[in-house]
C-alpha cells in the first residue's frame, strides 16, 4: 500500500506520537531548495540539512571542514521550502564543543536561517549543553554511535557499541541525553540488536542509519539513496533509483519502505 502523507506540519509532539504509535519516521538529507521541496511533497517527515554536504557537495573526505557559514547558507536554502516536513540542521564541527554558550549562539543562527531543530554529536559529555539549549527553547536532536565529527578519534568509520561494555556505555549516553531534554536520538552504525534495545528503553524517537530496523525511523543521505555519490558506501545504503523511473519515485519508494518496514533489512544492518 502506498503511503500518503497528510498535509499537517510535522512538529515535535507529532514525532513523539509517531514513536508511541509505532509509525516509522522517514528522514532524508537535503541541501538546496529544489530537493527540499521535492522531499516535502513526497512525504519525508524530517529533512536534515546535514554536514554530510562536506562529502557529497564539496567532495571532502570528512565532514570536519564544513563551516558554520556554510551550514547557515544551506539551511537558508532548505528552511523555507518545506511546508509539511520538519527541518533540522547539523551543528558543524567546532560550533558547539567549546562551550554551551557558543552552542547557543550558533544554534540561534541555524534557527534564524530556517531550521526547526538542531543536531549535535556526542554522548553524556554533551548532556549539559543539550539541557542548556533545550531550557532556552532550542529543540535538540542528539547523535551517538558513529559520530563522523570524531572520525579520527574513533579510528575511522567503524561500527560502534560492539560488546557488553561498549553497549552499556551507549545506553548510559542515550539515557543521559534523553534526561537532558533531547527530542530525538540518531543512532549510527551500531548493532541492530542494540538499536532495538535503545529504542525500547527510550521514550523519545530514535532515527537509525545502519542501526537496524528496530529504530523509530530511518535516515539516509540523499545522494546515497539516489546512487549518485561516487564515494564508498556503507552497508546500510540502498539505491532506491535502481527500480524508480524518477527522483520523485525513488524518494516516495524510500518513504514507503521506511513506513512499511521493508527497509532496512538484515542486509543493511550490522
* Residues classed as catalytic: 188
Rounded to whole angstroms, how far apart are CA atoms 37 and 41?
A: 6
Q: Which residues, in sequence order, are CB contacts of 11 under 8 Å at separation 6+?
A: 86
State the CB neighbour count (10 A cutoff) for residue 40: 22
Query: Nine-digit cell at 77?
Result: 536554502
Q: Which residues, in sequence order, are CB contacts of 164 under 8 Å at separation 6+?
A: none
**Cβ atoms of 204 and 176 closer than 8 Å:** no
CA-based nearest residue to 224, from 72, 93, 57 = 57
Rounded to whole angstroms, how far apart are CA atoms 252 and 158?
A: 30
Q: Locate cell 543539550: which residue?
A: 130
Amino acid at each position: 500500500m502506498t503511503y500518503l502523507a497528510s498535509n499537517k506540519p510535522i512538529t515535535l509532539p507529532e514525532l513523539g506520537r509517531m514513536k508511541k504509535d509505532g509509525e516509522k519516521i522517514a528522514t532524508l538529507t537535503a541541501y538546496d531548495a529544489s530537493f527540499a521541496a521535492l522531499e516535502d511533497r513526497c512525504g519525508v517527515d524530517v529533512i536534515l540539512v546535514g554536514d554530510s554536504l562536506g562529502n557529497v557537495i564539496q567532495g571532502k573526505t570528512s565532514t570536519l571542514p564544513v563551516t558554520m557559514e556554510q551550514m547557515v547558507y544551506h539551511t537558508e536554502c532548505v528552511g523555507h521550502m518545506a511546508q509539511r516536513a520538519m527541518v533540522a540542521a547539523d551543528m558543524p564541527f567546532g560550533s558547539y564543543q567549546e562551550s554551551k554558550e557558543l552552542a547557543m549562539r550558533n544554534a540561534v543562527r541555524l534557527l534564524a536561517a530556517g531550521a526547526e531543530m538542531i543536531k549535535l554529536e556526542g554522548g553524556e559529555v554533551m548532556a549539559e549543553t543539550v539541557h542548556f539549549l533545550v531550557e532556552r527553547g532550542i529543540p535538540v536532536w542528539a547523535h551517538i554511535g558513529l559520530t563522523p565529527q570524531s572520525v579520527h578519534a574513533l579510528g575511522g568509520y567503524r561500527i560502534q557499541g560492539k560488546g557488553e561494555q561498549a553497549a552499556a556505555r551507549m545506553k548510559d549516553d542515550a539515557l543521559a541525553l534523553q534526561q537532558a531534554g533531547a527530542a530525538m536520538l540518531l543512532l549510527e552504525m551500531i548493532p541492530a540488536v542494540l538499536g532495538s534495545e535503545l529504542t525500547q528503553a527510550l521514550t523519545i524517537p530514535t532515527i537509525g542509519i545502519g542501526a537496524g530496523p528496530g529504530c523509530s525511523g530511518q535516515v539516509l543521505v540523499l545522494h546515497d539513496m539516489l546512487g549518485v555519490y561516487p564515494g564508498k558506501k556503507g552497508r546500510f545504503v540502498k539505491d532506491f533509483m535502481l527500480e524508480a523511473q524518477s527522483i520523485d519515485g525513488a524518494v516516495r519508494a524510500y518513504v514507503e519502505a521506511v513506513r512499511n518496514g521493508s527497509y532496512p533489512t538484515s542486509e543493511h544492518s550490522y
